[in-house]
Chain A
């Protein structure tokens, strides 16, 4: 369970994202149509975009606070980030990608990660030869091995074939429950949000349209 204080305004050209979520959650789903600002919100937490004002903290660890002039450097945020385009390092093999993070501290044991994400047969493969689902699992392992306080995922099922999605959902549940790493993830699939998240935020055109339990927030169709 993590205490998320996500209260910020982000401007990108004409677009403004106003985000206010203060909640204790194990898995927070950001849900909404494309272009609504979900990815921007995730990138603001990771430090890849700077809000104009506001405060971002995870378990009291302040990542951004405009009033106190705090803007923690990306490398010190302890936010594991898996972007939608995954971006495994193409010149490194799977093992080298997974073990890239150097942080000491609460990093999970490599064997536990390999078992949880079913990577044992992939470790010496080149990343160019992996399927979409395999790439997603490797990227999650890479982010987790850096010992993050929170794992940020952008559409983790987008690049995965329908039959293989269950494995990714199981991996997300394992990360949440066995590794106890809280998640914030962007999705446009209601069933994914309902399975994994205990809190859902519906974003529409840069504003929070609804926030609450996934069953209350998700469209019922």
Chain B
């Protein structure tokens, strides 16, 4: 295995792990709100969270590019603070997190919905406030689903292509991921390199999905 291939595999895995860490807290929070709270506009939130699942990933990438480019509403603010996102490794992590988030939210939400409300009520009768109820009863009882959701989000992040190539490009040694690498090597006729990346992708994804399914079955 060449150093380039090894670096792509390591970078992609680290970026997917970072994306999973980035999506975990907001993803779990949104999942809990959707499972436990009724509020005006809930269906809009549900739809927005699921959009990256059904939108063409390239379109999601274009939206991110618009938001985070120097002239974009968020990118402009960041640029003033000296922070560049587009075409950097941070853009790779961001694209992966956005694309993986819906899977985490859906799986974690199902986990929260499976936790019977009565366990939480019993904790309240014992004097527990909302945070203690959540952290000691709800979260542990939904933990396997949350972990399964995080594994699914991680798997999705590993294979991310469309949004990544638009918002982060395919810069060797900087933003090139497994999926983007397969495409770039194939385009330039480097079929052997593409095949090695393909094998690595299949192996990592297989392990991640297998682990996720095992966790979900144990709930």
Chain A positions within 8 Å of B, measured between CB atoms, are 46-48, 73-81, 83, 85, 87, 89-91, 100-103, 142-143, 146
Contacts and interface: CB of A to CB of B under 8 A. Distances in A.
A89 B119 contact: yes
B126 A100 contact: yes
A208 B208 CA distance: 60
Question: Max chain B CB contacts within 10 Å: which of A46, A90, A100, A103?
Answer: A100
Nearest to B137: A89
Question: Max chain B CB contacts within 10 Å: which of A89, A102, A146?
Answer: A89
A79 B123 CA distance: 12
Interface in B95-127: 116, 118-119, 121-127
B132 interface: yes
Contact of A146 (B126, B137, B140, B141): B126
B125 A81 contact: yes
A87 B122 contact: yes
B127 A75 contact: yes
Interface of B: 116, 118-119, 121-129, 132, 136-137, 140-141
Contacts, number: 56
Contacts of A76: 127
Contact of B125 (A80, A89, A90): A80
Given A81-B122, A83-B118, A87-B119, A75 B128 contact: yes
16 contacts: A48-B121, A73-B124, A74-B121, A75-B125, A75-B126, A76-B127, A80-B126, A87-B116, A87-B119, A90-B141, A91-B140, A100-B128, A102-B127, A102-B132, A146-B125, A146-B126
Nearest to A73: B124
B118 A146 contact: no
Contacts of A100: 123, 126, 128, 136
Contacts of B124: 47, 73-75
Contacts of B126: 75, 80, 100-103, 142-143, 146
A76 B126 CA distance: 9
A118 B196 CA distance: 64
